[in-house]
Amino acid sequence: MSRLWRMILLVPLLLCACAPAAPSATPTFTAEPTLPPTPRPTATQTSMPLPTPTAIPLVPNFEHIVVVVFENKEFGSVVGSPNMPYFNVLAQTNTLLTQHYAVTHPSLPNYIALISGDTHGITENCEDCFLAAPNLADQIEAGGRTWKTYQQSMPAPCFLGSTLAYAQKHNPFIYFDSIRLDAQRCDQRVVPLDQLDVDIATQSLPNFVFITPNLCYSSHDCALELADAWLNTLLDRLVPALDAASESYLVVVTWDEGQGNHSCCGLPLEAGGRIATILISPQAKDNFQDDTPYSHYSLLKTIEEAWNLPYLGHAADDTSALILRPWK
């Protein structure tokens, strides 16, 4: 067979092999069923609420606060003095505030400032300059705590006036109408120092204790050696009682005023002098010196902060620094 015929016979076969196949029927797909979305787990189903962080208080919430006030000595007269060996052991082994200042002269307005945040215009040691003003004692009671002031050589509870050994000007509580004019309250809360031994023996120390030595043992009229020995005897019986009552307490040993006019932190240019203040507490640092400038208003502010009380008077001033650095 010739080549031409072979080609003619192959053409149909090639056309048949190259023609596209007939399309098949389009397949149909059945849609999968739509499932509802998986719900988010709720707190009650699978998760626990996150704990709320507990705020660290600026000042410890002490069970007891004790303030002991001596008389009329500048910082340099007592710190390092060989006449006050016990005081200096306390200063070296506890916290010493090295820049603490009284607010003015003389004594009484400093005592008034310590528990009310102001001198209320008092500029002398008067005995009839009574005040209708808020004070720390009122705040303490309103907050559900107890208080007493123990006054050495005070002839009787709520006594008005002074004697050779006892000075009314060193007892600020008696000047406030809300205390003095409430006979029952005054008799129970403004008491001679002898009552302290009774309260220690009966384990009934109040939350706030304010102690004033008499005119001799405060170093007002007598030598520093006597004040030092008196403080040793006082703390030897008081601190064990505080330890037994609670592991949370603060003892403040301070002075009403210095002998100069040194000032700081919002006080007048001439104020009450630089004084030595010791903080004794399981919550305070040992062998520590705090050189932050403080005033009596700072001490009041710190007590109020510890017990969540409103700041009185100048304790609310920004220049009245909270005592913060000593706490562990």
Give 292's pLDDT tier (boundaries 50, 70, 90). very high
Predicted confidence at residue 55, as pLDDT, reads 77
Residue 317 near residue 264, CB atoms below 8 Å = no
Planar angle of CA 240, 92, 260, nearest 5 degrees = 110
Predicted confidence at residue 52, as pLDDT, reads 65
- Return the higher-pLDDT residue of 327 and 10: 327
What is the identity of the amino acid at 69? Answer: V
CA distance 214 to 140: 25
Give 278's pLDDT tier (boundaries 50, 70, 90). very high
Give 254's pLDDT tier (boundaries 50, 70, 90). very high
pLDDT for 158 beyond 50:
yes
pLDDT for 155 beyond 80:
yes
**pLDDT tens digits for range 4-62:** 334 333 333 333 333 444 444 444 434 444 445 544 444 444 456 666 667 789 999 99
Predicted confidence at residue 317, as pLDDT, reads 98
The CB-side HSE value for 224 (13 A sphere, CA atoms) comes to 17
Looking at residue 326, the DSSP 8-state letter turns out to be T
Predicted confidence at residue 56, as pLDDT, reads 84
Which of the residue ranges 25-39, 130-144, 185-199, 279-293 would you say has the lowest mean pLDDT? 25-39
Planar angle of CA 259, 292, 134, nearest 5 degrees = 70
Determine phi and psi for 270, rounding to 5 degrees.
-115, 115
289 - beta bridge partners?
96
CA torsion, points 230, 231, 234, 239, in degrees to nearest 10? -160
Residues 6+ apart with CB under 8 A from 319: 265, 266
What whole-number percentage of the chain has pLDDT above 90? 83
Residue 211 near residue 69, CB atoms below 8 Å = yes
Name which of 214, 237, 249, 265 is nearest 101 in CA terms.
265
What whole-number percentage of the chain has pLDDT above 70? 84
Query: What tokens does 316 get?
Result: 């609310």
Please state the rounded mean pLDDT for residues 94-108. 98
pLDDT for 305 beyond 50:
yes
CA torsion, points 40, 42, 46, 51, in degrees to nearest 10? 130
Residues 6+ apart with CB under 8 A from 159: 166, 174
Q: Does domain 64-316 have CATH number 3.30.70.260?
A: no
Mean pLDDT score across all residues of the chain: 89
- Return the higher-pLDDT residue of 216 and 36: 216
Predicted confidence at residue 7, as pLDDT, reads 38
CA distance 138 to 115: 10
Planar angle of CA 53, 58, 59, nearest 5 degrees = 125
Query: What tokens does 304 get?
Result: 């109020």
Give 75's pLDDT tier (boundaries 50, 70, 90). very high
Name which of 255, 319, 308 is nearest 97 in CA terms.
255
Predicted confidence at residue 47, as pLDDT, reads 55
Please state the rounded mean pLDDT for residues 84-111. 98
Grouping H, G, I as helix, E, B as strand and the rest as coil, residue 169 is helix
Domain ranges of the chain: 64-316
Predicted confidence at residue 49, as pLDDT, reads 63
Name which of 54, 97, 55, 53 is nearest 75 in CA terms.
97
